[in-house]
Amino acid sequence: MSAAAIQRTSTARHVLFILRGNPVTAIASLGTALLVLIAIFAPFLTPYDPIASDVAHALAPPDAAHWAGTDQLGRDIFSRIVAAARLDLFIAVTAVGLSFVVGAVVGGFCGYRGGRLDRWVGRFVDVLMAFPLFVLAMALVAALGNRMENIIIATAVINLPFYIRFARAEVNVRRNAGWVEAARACGDSHLSVVLRFLLPNVLPAMAVQISLNLGWAILNAAGLSFIGLGVQAPTPEWGIMVAEGARFITTGKWWLVAFPGLALMLTVLFFNLLGDGLRDILDPRMRT
Amino acid sequence: MTDLLRVEDLRVSFSTRHGMVAALHGIGFALKAGETLGIVGESGSGKSVTSLAVMRLLDRAGRIASGRIVFQGRDITRAKHGDLRSLRGAAMSMIFQNPRSALNPIRTVEQQIVDVLRAHKPITLSAARAQALELLRAVLIRNPEQRLHAYPAELSGGMCQRVMIAMAMACEPALLIADEPTTGLDVTTQKAVMDLLAGITAQRGMAMILITHDLGLAARYCGEIAVMERGLMVEQGPTATLFQAPKHPYTQRLIAASPTRRSTLADLAQGEPVAPASVIQRPPGTGPLLDLRHVLKVFTGDVRAVDDVSFSLPPGGSLGLVGESGSGKSTLSRLICRLIDLDGGDIIFQGESISAIPANDFHRSPRRRDVQIVFQDPHDSLNPRFTAFDCIAHPLRRLEKMRDGAALTTRVHEAASRAGLPMDLLERYPHQLSGGQKARVGIARAIAPRPRLLVLDEPTAALDVSIQAVILQLLDRLRKEDDLAMLFVSHDLNVVRMLCDDLVVLQHGKVVEAGPSAAVFENPQSGYTRSLLDAIPHFDPHATAPLLQVAEG
């Protein structure tokens, strides 16, 4: 067996070990994996066209034909939830990915170099954090235009301060570590010390932040749609579905709100539970 | 006279992820009032667990499985925590390894001593304050009136340890346990603190247990010595007999591995091949490999960390850079490795000035691979996300632009085998290696790009003596095999003397003495060097003079 193959099996065994010792993480990982699969194969999983209306069957309660019932236009809610998973996950993952990459690099350099760069970026982050973040996201979407890429940008921007601060603090405590000096003696520039040494070491701690933020980003995107600033109807999106369904809750048509709300809640819950396990999996020091 | 403290067949175990692990396998000793017992052993031998068990300070995971601890005629093995609290501090107290972390950073020295006094005695605040001042005088702190109002952060390490001693003896305990009380301190400070401790305990008739890894220290300050290995007391006896005629093989090994005034590298030999495989003959008459000319480094606040330092090192030579903390020796080693920029002077390497290249760009210089460094803490100097293989391969990938493949693997294996690192450990991460193995990875990494000069920044300071002995021999062998010049930065003169031809003594960034090691050692010219030499605690198996002079004084 080659060295690389040994490495792979030991990684797989390590992941299994973590999951076995931590059933909550195992459930969260399974749930997340299921969500991702649903998002990828959404077009093949929807029994009905998610935007085709069928007024004859409007507001039908859940039954064998429509598992989650239909909405006011007779659209199948189950199909819409499945289709929306793809959009919501896409928004959350790209937004969080964007703020993670930018935040880790900016924060990493601030923490490593310190000095004027650190002070200026630090004050900028303070200003950003002084805004009520949801209002900031609303303002950004309103100013940039009501399109999906702008929702992603707005969500990324309001997440950014946390990543900058986190990466800065984590890199700062490690910048005088012996292995940082050792890397420089081995011919690494400051740039490669930050990118190839410090940031990978900070990653396990940031994984927790990422998974918590994914849940939060989904809520945020749904929230923007809920108040009409996000994805526009008739595109299926959990936030819009909750917003539209809310009108019918008083007349006892609970399924319009309950099922998209449940999907939203479960997704956020899975991501939140994933965090600690993800850190253990990513940290080689946990492999004993 | 009855025993003050008697420990009988004490067994302690800890519950861990892998079940119960026994830390002490039935140890026993006794101590009378006024006696000093030294417990020596290497890391993991159970010496700290012993002291914590006696103080009943074991954390939740640890418990006393069996045995008895009798203190002042009272069985305290199962005593309740309320009863123990009145005992601790008043009848027995403890001094910890790191004085700075044992003191509360947000309370003044006076407040902390007063706290101890008032916790155990019905005493008025003003009386307690007066006594705090007396205590500071007793531990020989200069300007005690002013120091009373100082916070721990405003005191030096030695000063903090004096305050700890003052607190420990505030209630005149019958027993004082000192767990590595001087490990983080300079040798001269260590001597001052230990002399003080020995004087105070002798004067007040207190018994002391000194826990240390340093045989010299135990020999100098203790009447009895107990040697611990893996949770067992393997040998116990009066200091003189134990050192002159050690019976247990572990004691013999430990004594052999501890550097003394007279020992040579060969004396420390235990298993490692001492003779170099082949010695490279150098044509004579070449210029110096490294030449420092009036090197200056100034830190913010006009602190001259390195002030007008000049010396030179021939190819294949070895030079010891000795000094206490704050002497600028670590700054100097980083200047030579071109990790930081100098503020004046010149560093000439192989006839070529390397100080003109900014430290930020030095990684691109062809000289980068010629100057390599081994760091003090082997654990801290390895990237936690790299396997041992990647650590050693790193300089080859960066400096020689080698790609993964057979050539790289060969070079890594070659460096690892020369550093004495078994091949099957190469896939491990640093946290899966022992201290000695990590030190070998650090050395293998430094020699992998085949440098001309190796800077060693206290490479053995964090290691046990037996591992230190092996690493020192390894370094000596590498130097002779490769014609590799070594700059050995250390506070330990005994170690430097064995390894280095020449010696430079630094104080406050200035060179106070330089010359061949043997000459400096035999006949030190400066008062500072002499005080450094005097401060090293020694044991001498062949000495006939009593070893306990200081403790009596």
> pLDDT tens digit string along A35-47?
999 999 988 888 8
Indicate which of A109, A173, A184, A279 best probes the interface with B, i.e. most B CBs within 10 Å of its own CB: A184
- Distance of alpha carbon B237 from alpha carbon A30, whole angstroms: 63
The total number of structural domains in chain B stands at: 2
Q: Is residue B121 part of a domain?
A: no
**pLDDT for residue A1 is more than 50:** no
Q: Are residues B410 and B470 in the same domain?
A: yes
A51-65, B229-243, B274-288: which has the minimum mean pLDDT? B274-288
The distance from CA B522 to its chain's CA centroid, rounded to whole angstroms, is: 24
Q: What's the CA gap between B68 and A128, in Å, rounded?
A: 63
For residue range B372-420, what is the model confidence (pLDDT) as tens digits?
999 888 888 999 989 999 999 999 999 988 888 899 999 999 999 988 8
CA distance linking residue B506 with residue B512, whole number of Å: 6
- Cβ A181–B377 below 8 Å, yes or no? no
Token couple for A117: 């760069």
**Domain A10-286 classification at class level:** mainly alpha
Residue B515: phi, psi to the nearest 5? Answer: 160, 180
Amino acid at A29: S
Domain-located, residue B224: yes
Mean of all residue pLDDT scores within chain B: 85
Percent of chain B with pLDDT over 70: 94
Is residue B288 pLDDT above 60, yes or no? yes
Q: Per mean pLDDT, which range of A75-79, B62-66, B261-265, B375-379 is the poorest?
A: B261-265
B230/B330 same-domain check: no
> How high is the pLDDT of residue B272?
52
* Average pLDDT over every residue of B86-98: 83
Indicate the pLDDT class of residue B544, thresholds 50, 70 and 90.
Answer: very low
Same domain, B178 and B100: yes
The answer on pLDDT for A103 being more than 90 is yes
Place B273 in a pLDDT band, splitting at 50, 70 and 90.
low
Predicted structure pTM score? 0.81
Asked if residue B192 is part of any domain, the answer here is yes
Q: Do B254 and B334 share a domain, yes or no?
A: no
Q: So what's the pLDDT on residue B550? A: 37
Q: Are residues B204 and B317 in the same domain?
A: no
CA distance to partner chain B, nearest, from residue A106 (Å):
20
Residue B394's pLDDT is 94
Residue B138 maps to a domain: no
Of the candidates A7, A185, A201, the beta carbon closest to that of B339 is on A185
CB-CB neighbors (< 8 A) of A175 in chain B: none
Q: Which chain B residue's Cα is nearest to A197?
A: B383
Q: Are residues B183 and B315 in the same domain?
A: no
Which residues numbered 201-260 in A keep a CB inside 8 Å of some CB on B?
201
CB contact under 8 A, B368 and A188: no
* Chain B residue with Cα closest to A179: B381
Q: What is the ipTM of this complex?
A: 0.78
Contact: B383, A186; criterion CB under 8 Å? no
Mean pLDDT, chain A, rounded, equals: 87
Burial class of B193 by CB neighbour count within 10 A (0 to 12, 13 to 18, 19+): buried
> Is there a contact between B432 and A287 if contact means CB atoms under 8 Å apart?
yes
The answer, yes or no, to whether residue A168 has pLDDT greater than 90, is yes
Query: How many A/B residue pairs have CB atoms within 8 Å?
Result: 76
Q: Where exactly are the structural domains of chain A?
A: 10-286
Using a pLDDT cut of 90, give the percent of chain B over it: 24
State the average pLDDT over residues B51-76: 85
pLDDT at position B546 is 39
Domain region containing B230:
5-105+171-258
Residue B544 buriedness (CB in 10 A; 0-12 / 13-18 / 19+)? exposed
Q: Is residue B505 part of a domain?
A: yes
* Contact (CB<8Å) A182/B360: no
CATH number at residue B203: 3.40.50.300
Q: Is residue B70 located within the same domain as residue B204?
A: yes
- Tell me which chain A residues have a C-beta less than 8 angstroms from the C-beta of B371: 185
CA distance B431 to chain A (A): 6
Q: In the structure encoding, which two tokens stand for residue B532, read together?
A: 């450094």
Whether B122 is covered by a domain: the verdict is: no
The shortest C-alpha distance from B539 to chain A (Å) reads: 34
Half-sphere exposure of B417 (CA within 13 A, CB side): 8
**DSSP E strand boundaries for chain A:** none
By residue count, chain A amounts to: 288
User: Is B282 an 8 Å CB contact of chain A?
Assistant: no
Is the Cβ of B337 closer than 8 Å to some Cβ of chain A?
A: yes
Is residue B143 included in any domain, yes or no? no
Confirm whether B277 is domain-assigned. no
Q: What are phi and psi of B143, to 5 degrees?
A: 50, 60
User: For B133-158, what is each residue's pLDDT tens digit?
Assistant: 988 888 888 888 888 898 888 888 88
Does the pLDDT value for residue B13 go beyond 90? Answer: no
Residues 445 through 504 of chain B touching chain A, CB cutoff 8 Å: 445-446, 449
Mean pLDDT to the nearest integer, B341-365: 89
